[in-house]
Amino acid sequence: MLDAILLFRDALYGALVIAVACSVLGVYVVLRRIVFVGAALAQLSSAGIALALWLGGQGLMLGLASHPIAFALLLTIAGVLFFGAGGGRGRVPPDATIGVTYAVAAAAGIILISKAKTGEAHDIFLQGNILGITATDTVTLIAVAVPVLLLHVIFYKEFLFVSFDRETARTLGYNVSFWNLLLYLTLGLVIAFAMQFAGVMLVFNFLVVPAVTGLLVSRGMAGAFFWSVFSAVLAAVVGFSISVPFDLPSGPAIIAVSGALALLAYGVRLAQRR
Amino acid sequence: MTELVRFDHATLGYGRRVILSDLTFDIPEGDFLGMVGPNGAGKTTILRAILGTLKPSAGTVTHADGMRFGYVPQRDQVDYNFPLTVTDVVMMGRYDRIGLGRRPGKGDRDLAHRALDHVGIADLAGQPLNALSGGQKQRTLIARALVGEPNVLILDEPTNGMDLVSTTQILGLVRELHERNGLTVLMVSHALNEVANYVERIALVVNGGFRIGAVDDIMTHSVLSEMYRIPVDVDSFNGHRIVVARREPQLPPRDNA
């Protein structure tokens, strides 16, 4: 069993980087009630990859098309700018705008990939291909995750303040739009890179479930971040370790463990109340 | 007396939509002003102009040099799902003074404790925010506004949704802060009866109109009736002012003959 896991250790390291980065940002995603913005951004990112593959298949934009991440980033950043600026406030409620983005991006991704000559099966977008992560991919993920996490450590109080009470932050001179946009940008960056390897489902899981676990267990922000990261890492290690020897799909196995940990946290919370 | 905020023929609105026009008044140091009016009348618009987050489309709104506002938002504007302690929230009032990317120090923590002591909830410092009562949450937000050492304390609907006891305690606390520390206070509310018995001046924002003056000058039958466009009586009971809108006269029975 250990041999099998060691064989895919690069994939495990990559999954751990994604788990840590997403579970830190996930605390804001859950607290700010933008869970489905995360899902919509992940779908936009997958649509970007599909677009790159389709263009490549058509012999168009061959240079850029060989780097699907460029298209994933492009569409995700467009989504970030849109949602970060309020998501088209007006007649359409924000959650409906998110729903429209999600549905259209998902459908566009599937249509494009079905017509792409070099395309992979569309379930790769949903499930990802975490076992395919190489050492180089892990380095790329680290190069994205470390600056993002550093930014969140350095500007913790700024992100916290504009997330908790934007009106008061504004009266104290904070440029709330800037900090919101920066938060969304870090989110978009991590999602765009993580999506390539982990797929929509696993990225969405890491953005939501560990943060819920952390917030159930902890009564403070530091604890929420700690338990969110801890449960994400634990889910990645355990899920991965189960999936390899038992020939289970890695992403869903990790998600199943994440879900079990969240249930456990819910039990702990109930016990604390008694 | 020093003017802290001055409106000079200011027109306020959003885009092309004008909410209030030609406002001229000032808030002097040591003022205890209540801004009263129904929802949607423009109180928040004036508040934003005072705070500097809304620029007038005509005229000017000027602030004294080095002005600092201590803003207490409406309680439902704050998200109580965040796992924050009372001290965490109060500390936010120091964030701009602490500076970008820096952490609060011992001096900030001492000031936070002093602010909590000031509003009478020092014993709740380590409690989670979401475990507090409505009155305790409001005191926490007032402590957060005070910890930044403001020139003007601004409270937006501080007693919204509170019972009689909590309302009296919060309004009493605000008056105490004004009288004991000479703090300039602006209280925004839709409840004329509550505010009129605590503040020294009233600004009425009703039906697109604006009137400001001493409580005795504003709380009269003629001014209130003219502003609200219905007959309004002002009476007193045990030294408290009471404002009552007259009942609509009953329609005479229809003559079927």
Inform me whether the pLDDT recorded for A61 exceeds 90: no
Rounded CA separation A6/A144 (Å): 25
B98 contact residues in A (CB cutoff 8 A): 157
What is the per-residue pLDDT for A139? 94
Which residues 74-93 of chain A have a CB within 8 Å of chain B? none
Q: Which residues have a Cβ under 8 Å from the Cβ of A167 and sit 6 or more positions away?
A: B71, B73, B77
Output the six-digit token pair for B182: 């000479």
Mark yes or no for CB contact B103/A173 under 8 Å.
no
Q: Across the A/B interface, how many CB contacts are shorter than 8 Å?
A: 69
Query: Is-contact A23 A231, C-beta < 8 A?
Result: yes
Q: Which residues have a Cβ under 8 Å from the Cβ of B228 and sit 6 or more positions away?
A: B206, B207, B245
| B108–chain A Cβ distance below 8 A for any pair | no
What is the per-residue pLDDT for A238? 94
Q: What is the ipTM of this complex?
A: 0.86
Closest residue in chain B to residue A225, using alpha carbons only: B83
- Report pLDDT digits (tens) over B144-201: 999 999 999 999 998 888 888 888 889 998 998 899 888 999 999 988 888 888 999 9
Query: Is-contact A49 A118, C-beta < 8 A?
Result: no
Mark yes or no for CB contact A158/B95 under 8 Å.
yes
Backbone angles phi, psi at A268, to 5 degrees: -60, -40
Q: Which of B69, B79, B83 sits opposite A220 (nearest CB)?
A: B83
**Least reliable range by pLDDT among A118-122, A252-256, B231-235:** A118-122
Rounded CA separation B33/B215 (Å): 9
A220 contact residues in B (CB cutoff 8 A): 83-85, 88
Mark yes or no for CB contact A164/B92 under 8 Å.
yes
- With pLDDT > 90 as the criterion, what percentage of chain A qualifies? 52
Rounded CA separation B154/B173 (Å): 14
Closest residue in chain B to residue A223, using alpha carbons only: B83
| B99–chain A Cβ distance below 8 A for any pair | no
pLDDT along chain B (257 residues), means of 10: 90 90 94 90 91 92 91 89 95 92 91 92 93 92 93 91 86 90 92 88 89 90 85 84 77 59
Q: Which 8-state DSSP code applies to residue A119?
A: P
B148 contact residues in A (CB cutoff 8 A): 172
| A226–chain B Cβ distance below 8 A for any pair | no
Q: Where are the alpha helices (DSSP H) in A88-132?
A: 94-114, 123-127
| A221–chain B Cβ distance below 8 A for any pair | yes
- Report pLDDT digits (tens) over A173-207: 999 999 999 999 999 999 989 988 888 889 999 99
B140 vs chain A: nearest CA distance in angstroms?
A: 14
Q: Which of A172, A215, A219 sits opposite B95 (nearest CB)?
A: A172
Among candidates B216, B212, B222, which has minimal Cα distance to B241? B216
Rounded CA separation B43/B205 (Å): 7
A171 vs chain B: nearest CA distance in angstroms?
A: 6
Q: Which of A161, A164, A171 sits opposite B69 (nearest CB)?
A: A171
| A3–chain B Cβ distance below 8 A for any pair | no
CA B36, B39, B43: angle at the middle one, nearest 5? 50
Query: Is-contact B153 B180, C-beta < 8 A?
Result: no
Rounded CA separation A224/A206 (Å): 14
What pTM does this model have?
Answer: 0.88
Tokens 């992940």 identify what position?
A42
What is the per-residue pLDDT for B257? 47
| B83–chain A Cβ distance below 8 A for any pair | yes
Which candidate in A30, A34, A89, A157 is best for mutational testing of the B interface (most B CBs within 10 A)?
A157
What is the per-residue pLDDT for A117? 64
Mark yes or no for CB contact A31/B79 under 8 Å.
yes
A229 vs chain B: nearest CA distance in angstroms?
A: 16
- Report pLDDT digits (tens) over A128-173: 778 888 899 999 999 999 999 999 999 999 999 999 999 999 999 9
Inform me whether the pLDDT recorded for A38 exceeds 80: yes
Tokens 């460029």 identify what position?
A70
CA B92, A207, A89: angle at the middle one, nearest 5? 70
**In the predicted model, what is the mean pLDDT of residues A223-251?**
92
Rounded CA separation A75/A191 (Å): 11
Using DSSP's 3-state secondary structure scheme, residue A1 falls into coil
For residue A227, the number of C-alpha atoms closer than 13 Å in the C-beta half-sphere is: 21
Rounded CA separation A81/A96 (Å): 17
Rounded CA separation B14/B24 (Å): 19
**CA-to-CA separations, B69 to A163, B72, B150, in angstroms, rounded:** 20, 9, 5
| B100–chain A Cβ distance below 8 A for any pair | yes
| A219–chain B Cβ distance below 8 A for any pair | yes
Q: Which of A157, A218, A219 sits opposite B95 (nearest CB)?
A: A157
The pairing of strands B3-14 and B17-28 is: antiparallel
What is the per-residue pLDDT for B12? 94
